[in-house]
Structure formats: structure tokens, C-alpha cells
Amino acid sequence: MEYILGEDKPKGCIFCPIPGEDPAERLVLFSGRLTRVMMNKYPYINGHLLIFPLRHVAGLEDLSPEELLDLQIKLRQAIAILRKVMRPDGFNVGLNLGVVAGAGVEAHLHWHVVPRWQGDTNYIPVFAEVRVIPEHFRQTYERLAPHFKALKDEDQTCAM
């Protein structure tokens, strides 16, 4: 509600780096040469991550082969970290292309990685239109951050 009702929404793209930014304040877990991983500040469930190219592009067709490969490698690594730290039973991984498909930030391509647990939904969203998150997102950030800091940002070769 703070974001929805607030008038101090950030200007510009929420995904693009800001000079002098505090990565922890912006919930950035990893920032590499081509790809970033950040937590969703308004998650569907704990551990909801966003993975996106550093370059501000809207569509898959706008990505270079190197960017596409790096994004997929970071997606795989992020899922492995979430499996280790949070032990979910499964994942929803999605890419919303276009507003009608659910893209909240249409101009900057991003994947959602949502860990799921057996029985993680209940009646509250249906009756009260709210979600119950069992851990504050800052606590989740602190648990995940050391694992993402250990990731390497290696050059990948891609013959596409």
C-alpha cells in the first residue's frame, strides 16, 4: 500500500542502475557486466526475484546472443541459490511481454522467479485481497545476498 498510495514513486526505470546507488537498499543481489538480479520489493511470496539485462531493452529480439546466454545462466544460478537457501517445492518462472500480458515495467525486459511451496496459498488473498509473507523481505535479502555475492561474472561464448 505504501507504493500504491505513495506519491514519491521513483522516476525512471526501476531496473536501470543509478550512479551512487546502494545495492542493498535497492535489493540488488547481483550486478554483473550484462545481467542483474534483484528482489521484488512487492513480492507475491518470499524470495520473488527479478532477473534482467543491464541494458534497457523491451523485447527478447533486442538482446544480443551474449546477453541472452548470460541471462539464462543467471536464471539457472538464481534458482539453484533459492533451492539451497529457501528449499521451495517448485518455481514459477515467467516473462511478461506487454502490458496485456501483465508486464508492470514494459520497457525493461525482466524475468520473475517465484519460489513455491506446497500449500503456500490460502484463503486470505481471496477474501481480503492481501498476501501474507512469512518473512520480511529485508531478512530474505540478508539470507540470499552472500550466495549471490559468490557468483562469478564470467564471459560466456555463444555461437548463435
Q: Three-state secondary structure along 104-145?
A: CCCCCCCEEEEEECCCCCCCHHHHHCCCCCCCCHHHHHHHHH
Q: Quote the DSSP letter at residue 9.
A: P
Residue that is written with C-alpha cell 525486459 in the block: 109
C-alpha triplet 115, 72, 76: angle, nearest 5°: 40
Residue that is written with C-alpha cell 531493452 in the block: 57
> Dmax over Cα atoms in the chain, in whole Å?
51
Q: State yes or no: is 56 an active-site residue.
A: no
List Cβ neighbours of 136 (8 Å cut-off, separation of 6 or more). none
Catalytic residue (choose from 110, 112, 136, 147)? 110
Q: How far apart are CA 91 and CA 14, in angstroms?
A: 24
Q: Quote the DSSP letter at residue 28.
A: E
Provide the annotated active-site residues.
Answer: 110
